[in-house]
Amino acid sequence: MNIKGDVEVKDLLPLGSVVSLKDAPVTVMITEYFVKRQSPNEKNNINSDLFEVRDYKGILWPEGDINPYFDITFNHEDIDTIFFTGYINEESVSFLNDIEEQFEKSKNEKVGQYE
Least confident of 56-60, 81-85, 109-113: 109-113
Q: Is the pLDDT confidence value at 20 over 70?
A: yes
Report the alpha-carbon angle 69-27-55, nearest 5. 65
Q: Is the pLDDT confidence value at 65 over 80?
A: yes
pLDDT (0 to 100) of residue 98: 81
Respond yes or no on whether the N-terminal peptide bond of residue 68 is cis (omega within 30° of 0): no
Rounded CA-CA distance 105/66 in Å is 33
